[in-house]
Protein backbone atom coordinates (compact mmCIF):
# COMPACT_ATOMS: atom_id res chain seq x y z
CA UNK A 1 0.00 0.00 0.00
CA UNK A 2 1.19 3.47 -0.83
CA UNK A 3 1.39 5.89 2.10
CA UNK A 4 0.61 9.61 1.85
CA UNK A 5 3.65 11.83 1.32
CA UNK A 6 2.62 14.36 4.00
CA UNK A 7 -0.12 15.00 6.53
CA UNK A 8 -1.20 18.40 7.88
CA UNK A 9 -3.89 18.43 10.58
CA UNK A 10 -5.26 21.07 12.92
CA UNK A 11 -8.01 21.57 15.45
CA UNK A 12 -8.12 17.97 16.69
CA UNK A 13 -9.49 17.56 20.23
CA UNK A 14 -10.07 14.68 22.66
CA UNK A 15 -9.47 11.75 20.35
CA UNK A 16 -7.12 8.93 19.36
CA UNK A 17 -5.21 9.49 16.12
CA UNK A 18 -3.03 6.93 14.28
CA UNK A 19 -1.09 8.05 11.19
CA UNK A 20 1.60 6.50 8.95
CA UNK A 21 3.24 8.82 6.47
CA UNK A 22 6.36 8.66 4.24
CA UNK A 23 7.14 12.36 4.77
CA UNK A 24 6.34 14.98 7.39
CA UNK A 25 3.41 15.14 9.77
CA UNK A 26 2.54 18.70 10.82
CA UNK A 27 0.06 19.24 13.65
CA UNK A 28 -1.45 22.58 14.76
CA UNK A 29 -3.82 23.54 17.56
CA UNK A 30 -4.49 20.11 19.06
CA UNK A 31 -5.32 19.08 22.63
CA UNK A 32 -6.17 16.08 24.79
CA UNK A 33 -5.03 13.53 22.20
CA UNK A 34 -3.35 10.17 22.14
CA UNK A 35 -1.30 10.04 18.94
CA UNK A 36 0.37 7.02 17.34
CA UNK A 37 2.57 8.34 14.56
CA UNK A 38 5.09 6.93 12.09
CA UNK A 39 6.72 9.45 9.78
CA UNK A 40 9.96 10.90 8.47
CA UNK A 41 9.59 14.23 10.29
CA UNK A 42 7.24 15.44 13.04
CA UNK A 43 6.47 19.12 13.61
CA UNK A 44 4.06 20.28 16.31
CA UNK A 45 2.69 23.77 16.98
CA UNK A 46 0.32 24.68 19.83
CA UNK A 47 -0.27 21.21 21.26
CA UNK A 48 -1.65 20.75 24.80
CA UNK A 49 -2.02 17.75 27.11
CA UNK A 50 -1.17 14.98 24.64
CA UNK A 51 0.56 11.60 24.65
CA UNK A 52 2.62 10.99 21.53
CA UNK A 53 3.80 7.47 20.60
CA UNK A 54 6.15 8.03 17.69
CA UNK A 55 8.57 6.41 15.29
CA UNK A 56 10.36 9.28 13.54
CA UNK A 57 12.86 8.43 10.79
CA UNK A 58 14.93 11.62 11.07
CA UNK A 59 15.24 11.12 14.87
CA UNK A 60 13.96 14.62 15.66
CA UNK A 61 10.64 16.13 16.75
CA UNK A 62 10.13 19.90 16.54
CA UNK A 63 7.68 21.58 18.95
CA UNK A 64 6.65 25.19 19.43
CA UNK A 65 4.06 26.84 21.71
CA UNK A 66 3.28 23.44 23.28
CA UNK A 67 3.01 22.10 26.82
CA UNK A 68 2.02 19.09 28.93
CA UNK A 69 3.27 16.59 26.36
CA UNK A 70 4.46 13.04 26.96
CA UNK A 71 6.57 11.33 24.30
CA UNK A 72 6.95 7.56 24.07
CA UNK A 73 8.56 5.49 21.35
CA UNK A 74 8.15 2.29 19.41
CA UNK A 75 9.89 0.44 16.63
CA UNK A 76 8.39 -1.66 13.87
CA UNK A 77 8.22 -4.69 16.15
CA UNK A 78 8.16 -3.47 19.76
CA UNK A 79 7.27 -0.74 22.21
CA UNK A 80 10.30 1.00 23.66
CA UNK A 81 11.93 4.23 24.69
CA UNK A 82 11.77 7.20 22.33
CA UNK A 83 14.49 6.98 19.66
CA UNK A 84 14.37 10.68 18.87
CA UNK A 85 15.14 14.03 20.44
CA UNK A 86 12.69 16.88 20.89
CA UNK A 87 13.70 20.39 19.83
CA UNK A 88 11.53 23.00 21.52
CA UNK A 89 11.70 26.44 19.89
CA UNK A 90 10.42 27.94 23.16
CA UNK A 91 13.14 26.25 25.28
CA UNK A 92 16.41 26.51 23.34
CA UNK A 93 18.69 25.21 26.10
CA UNK A 94 19.29 21.64 27.19
CA UNK A 95 21.10 22.76 30.34
CA UNK A 96 17.88 22.69 32.39
CA UNK A 97 14.87 20.39 32.30
CA UNK A 98 12.27 21.44 29.77
CA UNK A 99 8.89 21.95 31.51
CA UNK A 100 6.88 21.56 28.28
CA UNK A 101 7.33 17.80 27.74
CA UNK A 102 8.53 14.53 29.23
CA UNK A 103 10.22 11.60 27.54
CA UNK A 104 8.96 8.32 28.99
CA UNK A 105 9.48 4.63 28.58
CA UNK A 106 6.83 2.00 29.07
CA UNK A 107 8.42 0.98 32.38
CA UNK A 108 7.98 4.50 33.84
CA UNK A 109 5.14 5.01 36.32
Which residues on adjacent β-strands are paired with residue 2? none
Total domain count for the chain?
Answer: 1
**Cβ partners under 8 Å of residue 44, min gap 6:** 26, 27, 30, 52, 61, 62, 63, 64, 66, 69
Report if residue 69 sits inside a domain. Answer: yes
Report if residue 2 sits inside a domain. Answer: no
Identify the pLDDT of residue 107: 64
Identify the pLDDT of residue 94: 78
**pLDDT per position as a tens digit, 51-64:** 999 999 999 999 99
Of residues 62, 71, 68, the one with CA closest to residue 90: 62
Report if residue 59 sits inside a domain. Answer: yes
Report if residue 109 sits inside a domain. Answer: no
pTM: 0.88
Q: In which domain, by residue range, is 13 found?
A: 7-103
Report which of residues 2 and 106 the model is more confident about: 2
Pairing outcome for strands 24-31 and 7-10: parallel
Report if residue 13 sits inside a domain. Answer: yes
Report if residue 1 sits inside a domain. Answer: no
Mean pLDDT value across residues 67-84: 82
Report if residue 108 sits inside a domain. Answer: no
Amino acid sequence: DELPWSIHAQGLKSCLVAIRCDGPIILHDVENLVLILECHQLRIHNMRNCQVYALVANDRVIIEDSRDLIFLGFSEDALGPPCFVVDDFDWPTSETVNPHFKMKTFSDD
